[in-house]
Amino acid sequence: MSTTVAAARGPIDPNLLALSTPVRRWIFVAGVLTTLNVAATITLGLAIGITVARVLGEGDPAWPLFAAVSLTAAAAKVACSWALTRFGEAVGAEAASTLRADALRALALKDPRTVDLSAWRATLTVGIDGVAVYIAEFLPSIVAAALATPIALFTVAFLDLYSFAIAAVTLPLVPLFMWLVGRLTEGRTERRLADIGTVRSQILDLITGLPTLRAHGIASAPDAEIRRLSEQHRDSSMAVLRVAFLSSMVLEFLTTLSIALIAVSIGFRLLDGSSTLSTGLAVLIIAPEIYAPIRAVGHKFHAAQDGLVAAREVTALLSAPSPVASEESSASGTEVAPTVEFRDFSAPGRDGCRPYLLSAVAGPGRVTVLAGPNGVGKTTALLAAAGIVTENLCGQVRVTVHGPELLRRIAWVPQRPVLDPASIGDDSRRSLGQRQRQALQLALSDPSRNLVLADEPTAHLDSDSAREVIDSLRERARRGATVLVSSHDPLLIDAADDVVEVRAK
């Protein structure tokens, strides 16, 4: 699923900012809070430096002023830190939820044959969860590095040029090392997400097939494969963690050594009298603020890598044109049901053409059945009629309405429907047949959706329930809808107005 665009390879994804107004506002708010926070730190450093120096003999300390300034600065730092955490988490959770919903809507319009389900499962779960961390923690650290570090650096330059020179020389080493680590970590994180998707997909397949394995007495056969997948996931996760721990150690070493050099320089100049104690103390308090934001970027970078990779994948998906949404509606304004026509329609794939040279017409007022055994491409034909399957097709699929109008007219009933708990309650205890009947009832309840596409609507029903479903479909056709279904159920085939045999090659 390498859909990442080249323009989004930096630590900030411009596509994410373009898609999310709350994130853009959050970056501005984080900038204001960061500026206030570093200003409070500088104020507190100056107040402590001057007061301590006066206590040690450089003058009489102004205790009331010191208390007022220190308490105000400390309160400002606490308030800014709380606001950065509180608002960051809220914006991150909102953006992650919005991205997940937008991605699901976009994937619903893509050709399902081209969607890597295992990769997108990992992206929309573990990856999107990391987007909240990316927005709440990593973006504010980037803003702090862009604002707090220059402010602290120029304050040190104003107070002590020697300390400024040491900081100016050592500071670039930190982002240079972070860039090198980032290039290494990014590929490992992408591989880890891919491994998560593979593990989940294959374990779900094993669980789905477990009744069959038990029926044949080989339920323990997948043990070796599960162990292999688990070890693969463990190895990829440990590779990311090793790099994260190593980079954190080196970042701490570089920043600690840099601050120590500044402290040693101040100590020597205090001995020879070329610097005052108040200036030295103030610089020592402010100097860590030069390195802390950049060090925080390095720490947050590893925690946000899942989110950064997922954000790139999702924004690339959302930026791609939708073949359905990009077409203009050709509806004439009437509500006559659409007509669907296949002309020598074929869908080539790895296993041949499924279907192969399908020709059929489904018109208003009629029930048309695409008949044939499993695996000949009946579902693919329905998805092509809905405008969802669009790639690598041969022949023609013509529908008399297009684009958003087509989506508005379709009543889609898949073979394994997922129902909305908000509208029908908990469906976890419903059988597949019950869910299928409920989905059909909901689809047929909207009279404006007059193109009914149903995939094996009677496959999981007993004969009495199947006849009720068939009657519902025929009644909907009698009222003018175009009903196109796939089935190999003799009851449904006998009740159809038109039956088209679908074959594969």
Pick 156 or 325 by higher pLDDT.
156
The answer to whether position 221 is within a domain reads yes
Would you state the structure tokens that stand for residue 62, as one six-digit string? 């102004």
C-alpha 405/C-alpha 419 separation (Å) is 23
Inter-CA distances, 51 with 160, 275, 281, 286, Å: 18, 16, 10, 15
C-alpha 77/C-alpha 42 separation (Å) is 11
Domain limits for position 368: 340-418+430-501
Does 51 share its domain with 193?
yes
Inter-CA distances, 428 with 28, 116, 383, 420, Å: 44, 26, 26, 11
The answer to whether position 324 is within a domain reads no
- What is the model's pLDDT at position 73? 92
CA 111 to chain centre: 19
Does 314 share its domain with 345?
no
Does 293 share its domain with 437?
no
Q: Round the average pLDDT of the chain to a whole number and report it.
A: 81
Does 99 share its domain with 214?
yes
The answer to whether position 327 is within a domain reads no
Pick 370 or 108 by higher pLDDT.
370
SS (H, E, C) 439-502: HHHHHHCCCCCCEEEEECCCCCCCHHHHHHHHHHHHHHHHCCCEEEEEECCHHHHHHCCEEEEC
- What is the model's pLDDT at position 218? 74
| CB-CB contact of 336 with 364 (8 Å) | yes
The answer to whether position 232 is within a domain reads yes
The answer to whether position 93 is within a domain reads yes
Q: How far apart are the first and last CA of the chain?
A: 29
Average pLDDT over residues 258-267: 92
Residues 183-223 pLDDT 10s: 666 566 666 666 676 777 777 777 767 777 777 777 777 77
Residues 12-25 pLDDT 10s: 667 677 767 788 88
Average pLDDT over residues 269-273: 88
Per-residue burial over 165-186, b if 16 or more Cβ lie within 10 Å, else e, is ebbeebbeebeeebeebbeebb
Does 88 share its domain with 36?
yes
Count the domains in the chain.
Answer: 2
pLDDT surpassing 80 at residue 41:
yes
- Looking at the DSSP bridge assignments, the partners of residue 398 are 341
Assign 78 a pLDDT band (cuts: 50, 70, 90).
very high
Does 304 share its domain with 361?
no
Long-range contacts of 377-381 (CB under 8 A, 24+ apart): 377/347, 377/353, 377/502, 377/504, 378/455, 378/456, 378/486, 378/487, 378/502, 379/415, 379/455, 379/486, 380/113, 380/347, 380/354, 380/355, 381/342, 381/345, 381/347, 381/355, 381/486, 381/502
Average pLDDT over residues 392-410: 85
Average pLDDT over residues 428-439: 70
Among candidate residues 193, 177, 182, the one with its CA nearest the CA of residue 309:
193
Residues 227-248 pLDDT 10s: 777 787 787 778 777 777 777 7
Residues 332-365 pLDDT 10s: 444 788 899 999 998 887 778 889 899 999 999 9
| CB-CB contact of 294 with 174 (8 Å) | yes
The answer to whether position 71 is within a domain reads yes
Please state which of the ranges 169-183, 199-213, 486-500 shows the lowest mean pLDDT. 199-213
Residue with tokens 């009489």: 60
Residues 418-427 pLDDT 10s: 655 555 455 5
Q: Per this entry, what is the length of the chain?
A: 505
CATH number at residue 146: 1.20.1560.10
CATH number at residue 393: 3.40.50.300
Does 114 share its domain with 228?
yes
Residues 102-145 pLDDT 10s: 888 888 777 666 777 777 877 888 788 888 888 888 888 888 88
Does 389 share its domain with 273?
no
- The last residue of a domain, from among 319, 353, 369: 319
- pLDDT above 90 covers a percentage of the chain that reads 16
DSSP string, 272-296: TTSS-HHHHHHHHHHTHHHHHHHHH
Assign 7 a pLDDT band (cuts: 50, 70, 90).
very low
C-alpha 170/C-alpha 80 separation (Å) is 28
Does 119 share its domain with 177?
yes
The answer to whether position 379 is within a domain reads yes
Pick 221 or 40 by higher pLDDT.
40
Question: Which residue blocks in 111-222 are alpha helix, DSSP H?
Answer: 117-122, 128-133, 139-159, 161-170, 173-208, 210-215
- Looking at the DSSP bridge assignments, the partners of residue 367 are 483
Does 179 share its domain with 295?
yes
Assign 3 a pLDDT band (cuts: 50, 70, 90).
very low
Does 120 share its domain with 196?
yes
The answer to whether position 424 is within a domain reads no
